[in-house]
Amino acid sequence: MSEETKLQTDNLDLYYNKFKALNHISVHIPANRITAVIGPSGCGKSTFLRAFNRMNELIPDVRVEGQVLLDGQDVFALDEVELRRRVGMVFQRPNPFPKSIYDNVAYGPRAHGIHNHQMLDAIVERSLRSAAIWDEVKDELGKSALRLSGGQQQRLCIARALAVEPEVILMDEPASALDPSATLRIEELMQQLKAEYTILIVTHNMQQAARASDYTAFFMMDDNRAGTLVEFGPTRQIFTNPRDHRTEDYISGRFG
Amino acid sequence: MTTVIHTVGQTRNTSGQVKSCSTSLAHVTSSQYLRDKSNLKSRKLTQQSAFALMWLAGSVAVAVLVAIVGYVVWLGAKVITPDFILQPPRGGMAGDGGISYTLLTTFYLVVLTVGIATPLGVAAATYLVEYAGAIRKHRRLWSRLIGIARLGVETLAGVPSIIFGLFGYALFVSALHFGFSLLSATLAGACLILPVIIRTTEEALRAVPNSYREGGLALGATKWQTIWGIVLPTAAPGIITSIVLSVGRVLGETAVFYVTLGGSYRMPTSIMSSGRTLALHVFYLATETHAFDKAMGTAAILVLAIILINLVINLLARRLNRMMKG
């Protein structure tokens, strides 16, 4: 691949206590592209995603072997607070805080020490614009974020992630709780965002992977129920001319 | 032994018969059962009787409450005058005077106990929910200690209050020479309400969706920033509930303060002053004086104060909730 690598794993193994959840994952995620992670339920897609911002560590008794690199740097050598600023995350269910729209977006910058009002105002506006939700909420920034619709909440969560100026955005099935039109808006937004950010998205929806991503990683469970990477490549190739017959079976809907 | 079942209705019998039915029912298919409407009426009737019973139980509870409060207020209202509230008690067999110093002592005691126990209790609950849960299983000793702490809190919540009183008497009044004083009573009272605050706060914290915590951490906030800025504010209405419960507990408590606060009806001038709370005053008036009407008057004030505090704080919690959820 000639593309510049943003994220990389080398022989990544991950254990929940004694259960091996990821088995020898080695992959290069290109910068400023959208990479989709697809595969059947329980094959470790989310676990893989969370390896990059070390969110797996929130679960007791998780052990990681192998390397996870951000710009060639070992993420375990970075402070997790700084790592998570650089690698933002959007969750499956929109999870705005029970605060105002403004305070939701300003939460990250404030946590990182920005308290200047003008600076915060500028960050909030810029982030909400980038997440294509500014026009809908600009007159009611003081309104509780919980009163927004699901699709708006998810775009607010994207704005919240953008506010700390990350380089990578991890998306864990960001549209699975949304209706089709809200899903489409998120996908359009991803296309706008990839100019500045590297996007890694887990999705259950193969059409979504096919239409919205540049690269696709196909995961499956191996015989020991550990997640393995079956195939990685440009999305067009994965969907039209997969090298592995399991990939073909999966995308043609024979299982999963 | 085996009874032949002709209608579906007969399956609603004792369990022994139902069991024996199942063998002889092979010729009745389950879809015949499901389509049969003959038991619909009895099912509806069961539901209606259940509702009626629950309604009755609810009415009894409300009626008892209204009866008690009504009785106390009715009898007490005769003595409640501005003078009764503003005059200090003067003691004696006739129970002369009002309740002003008693009110003041009660106020001090509530503020001090809740003021000490709330930060301690909230911090303990936060530790138990937010930090202790993340401790790895292989740290056996540590997780065992936390288990003991948790058990301790649960046990303390069920310990009779006189035990707290005796403990307070032995430690604060005698051993530490604080005497019968606001200080002794405050410390013993704080011990009494600590488990209440810890348990209620724990529940409030557990009710905070994990997605809020993940959301905060994923933005690069530290764990403490997430707890302080997101988790605790979200749990605030529940924490306020725990404070209301403890205020009620302190207002209503007699045993603990009987053996730590003494019974002086004088003006509390310092933290070392002895005194009596409203509840204690009721007790003293009723047992040591002839002024039963004043005991009732004091009791009425006490009950009204509890109702008022509940209303005010509930209103506050609701407003807080609305601020967050919009």
Q: What count of Cα atoms within 13 Å lies in the side-chain half-sphere of residue B98?
A: 15
Identity of the residue in A85, A97, A143 whose CB atom sits nearest the CB atom of B220: A85
Q: Which distant-in-sequence residues (6+ apart) come within 8 Å of A55 by Cβ?
A: A84, A89, B214, B217, B218
Q: A98 and B325: CB-CB below 8 Å?
A: yes
**Residues 198-257 in B contacting A (C-alpha not used; CB under 8 Å):** 209, 211-222, 225, 229-230, 233-234
Query: How far is the alpha carbon of A81 from chain B, nearest alpha carbon, in Å?
Result: 4
Scanning the structure block, which residue is given the tokens 């046990």? B155
Residue B12: closest CA among B50, B42, B32, B37: B42
CB pairs under 8 A between A and B: 91
The domains found in chain B, sorted by start residue, are 1-38 (no CATH), 82-325 (1.10.3720.10)
Rounded-to-integer distance, Cα B160 and Cα B151, Å:
16
* A70, β-bridge pairs: A7, A73
pTM for this model (two decimals)? 0.82
Q: What is the pLDDT of residue B26?
A: 60
Q: Flag the least confident range among A138-142, B177-181, B223-227, B261-265.
A: B261-265
Q: Cβ contacts (< 8 Å) between A110 and chain B: which residues?
A: 229
Q: Is residue B134 within 8 angstroms of chain A, CB to CB? A: yes
Q: A81 and B221: CB-CB below 8 Å?
A: yes
Closest chain B residue by Cα to residue A144: B326
Q: Cβ contacts (< 8 Å) between A82 and chain B: which residues?
A: 220
Q: A91 and B229: CB-CB below 8 Å?
A: no
Closest chain B residue by Cα to residue A171: B218
Q: What is the mean pLDDT of chain B?
A: 85
* A28, β-bridge pairs: A8
DSSP one-letter code for A143: S
User: A219 phi and psi, to 5 degrees?
Assistant: -105, 150
Identity of the residue in B221, B233, B234 whose CB atom sits nearest the CB atom of A111: B221
Q: Which distant-in-sequence residues (6+ apart) come within 8 Å of A203 by Cβ?
A: A36, A37, A38, A173, A175, A176, A209
Q: Flag the least confident range among A137-141, B82-86, B168-172, B203-207.
A: B82-86
Q: Cβ contacts (< 8 Å) between B213 and chain A: which residues?
A: 58
Residue B301: closest CA among B111, B63, B99: B99
Identity of the residue in A17, A97, A112 whose CB atom sits nearest the CB atom of B212: A97
By the 8 A CB rule, do A39 and A219 touch?
yes
Domain A5-251 of CATH type 3.40.50.300:
yes
Q: Which distant-in-sequence residues (6+ apart) come within 8 Å of A20 by Cβ?
A: A13, A14, A224, A226
Question: Which DSSP string do the residues of B221-236 spell out, in sequence order?
Answer: --HHHHIIIIIHHHHH
CA-to-CA dists, residue B216 to A113, B210, B227, angstroms: 14, 10, 9
Average pLDDT over residues B38-57: 92
Provide the token pair at B270. Answer: 């310092």
Q: What is the pLDDT of residue B25?
A: 58
Query: How far is the alpha carbon of A183 from chain B, nearest alpha carbon, in Å?
Result: 20
**Residues 87-116 in A contacting B (C-alpha not used; CB under 8 Å):** 88-89, 91, 93, 95-99, 107-108, 110-112
By the 8 A CB rule, do B185 and B168 touch?
yes
Q: B230 and A58: CB-CB below 8 Å?
A: no
Higher pLDDT, B20 or B206: B206
Q: A88 and B135: CB-CB below 8 Å?
A: no
Q: What is the pLDDT of residue B273?
A: 84
Q: What is the pLDDT of residue B4?
A: 46
Which of B135, B210, B219 would you mutate first to test chain A, the one with the most A CBs within 10 A? B219
Q: Cβ contacts (< 8 Å) between A17 and chain B: which residues?
A: 137
Whether residue B13 is predicted with pLDDT greater than 50 in this model: the reply is no
Rounded-to-integer distance, Cα B4 and Cα B22, Å:
10
Q: Flag the least confident range among A161-170, B123-132, B213-222, B313-322.
A: B313-322
Q: What is the pLDDT of residue A90?
A: 95
Task: Give the mean pLDDT per block of 10 residues along chain A (256 residues).
Answer: 84 91 93 94 91 90 91 92 94 93 95 94 94 92 92 94 95 89 90 94 91 94 88 93 90 77
Interval B137-177: pLDDT, tens: 567 788 888 888 889 998 988 899 999 999 999 999 999 99
User: A37 phi and psi, to 5 degrees?
Assistant: -110, 115
Query: How far is the alpha carbon of B318 from chain A, nearest alpha carbon, in Å?
Result: 14
Q: What is the pLDDT of residue A34?
A: 96
Q: What is the pLDDT of residue B2?
A: 43
Residue B191: closest CA among B274, B308, B309, B112: B112
Q: What is the pLDDT of residue B3?
A: 45
Whether residue B20 is predicted with pLDDT greater than 50 in this model: the reply is no
Q: Is residue A147 within 8 angstroms of chain B, CB to CB? A: yes
Kindly list the domain boundaries of chain A, sorted by start residue. 5-251
Task: Please say whether the dihedral angle defined by the alpha carbons of residues B23, B24, B27 and B33, taken in this order, is positive or negative.
Answer: negative
Rounded-to-integer distance, Cα A90 and Cα A155, Å:
9
Whether residue B134 is predicted with pLDDT greater than 80 in this model: the reply is no
Rounded-to-integer distance, Cα A202 and Cα A39, Å:
9
